[in-house]
Every structure is written in structure tokens, then in C-alpha cells.
């Protein structure tokens, strides 16, 4: 978990892999919420967002979906802005859909779910902000 080479790979900092799609679970339409401004930053840096929030029709100009299973594509990264108790169900859905990369935002930790995800072959980044990590990966 949280290996620097996996972070680089997920963010597309390597030539071999270039993830460009992010399913954002818990993306809020409130611009003051971290899920909103972090996702807006990633969108501005070339990532295609797929919001997962059943309570809103769209956010940041993108159609919102009720679940990962409803997406029209398999996202490169599943970025989670939900409480730790929701992570196990997200991992279950990722395993079912064979999704490769789980990013759980800063301040959110569920080690049991992370272990289950890794045992299923999912790369896990947990308790890290994707925007901050992207800023560190981007050449200045």
C-alpha cells in the first residue's frame, strides 16, 4: 500500500501506464468540499471524471452515476471520498468489476478493506490526497 511507484503509475507519470479516467465516489456539487475542488483540479489536468453520487444528476459538467456498476467504462482509478465504513462495499464492487486501482483520500483509513483489496490484486493508495500527490509528480 502507498508505494511511490504505484502512485506514479496511477497518476500516469510512467510511460508504460497512463491512467486518464477517475471514478470519484462521493463527489459533491458543493465547491467548498474537498471532493469537489480536488476533482476539479484533476479534471483541469486532463483526467476524465465519472462522478459516483446517486443524489445528484451531474457535477463539474459530468453525468453522475449511482454506482461503479453503472459506469459506461472501467475507470483507471476509483477515488473515494466516503467514510471508512463504506470502503468494504466499494472494494467488493471493485473486485466484482475487476477494477485495478483504489485511491482512498487523505484522512480516510480502513486497513481491513485495503488488505482485502490488495489480496484481490487491486493496487491501493490510502490516506493520501490525489491532488497533492499529482502536484508532487508533475514536473515544475
Q: Residue 125 is part of a domain; what is its CATH number?
A: 3.40.50.720
Q: What is the pLDDT of residue 14?
A: 44
- Which residues, given as ranges, of the chain have pLDDT below 50? 14-16
Chain centroid offset of residue 46 CA: 15
Number of domains the chain contains: 1
- Alpha-helix residue ranges (DSSP H) falling in the chain: 4-10, 34-44, 87-97, 111-119, 130-137
**C-alpha to C-alpha distance for 88 and 68, rounded to whole angstroms:** 14
Grid-cell match 490488495, residue found: 118
Q: What is the pLDDT of residue 117?
A: 98
The three grid cell numbers given for residue 54, joined into one nine-digit string: 446517486
- What is the domain range of residue 22? 4-137
pTM, full prediction: 0.92
CB 123 within 8 A of CB 6: yes
Amino acid at each position: 500500500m502507498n508505494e511511490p511507484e504505484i502512485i506514479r503509475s496511477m497518476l500516469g507519470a510512467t510511460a508504460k501506464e497512463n491512467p486518464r479516467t477517475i471514478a470519484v465516489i462521493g463527489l459533491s456539487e458543493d465547491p467548498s468540499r474537498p471532493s469537489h475542488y480536488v476533482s476539479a483540479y484533476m479534471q483541469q489536468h486532463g483526467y476524465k471524471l465519472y462522478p459516483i453520487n446517486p443524489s445528484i444528476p451531474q457535477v463539474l459538467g459530468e453525468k453522475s452515476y449511482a454506482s461503479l456498476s453503472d459506469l459506461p467504462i472501467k475507470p483507471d482509478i476509483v477515488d473515494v471520498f466516503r467514510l471508512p465504513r463504506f470502503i468494504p462495499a466499494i472494494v467488493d464492487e471493485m473486485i466484482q468489476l475487476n477494477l485495478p486501482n483504489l485511491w482512498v483520500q487523505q484522512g480516510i483509513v480502513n486497513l481491513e478493506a485495503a488488505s482485502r483489496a490488495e489480496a484481490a490484486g487491486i493496487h491501493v493508495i490510502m490516506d493520501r490526497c490525489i491532488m497533492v500527490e499529482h502536484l508532487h509528480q508533475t514536473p515544475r
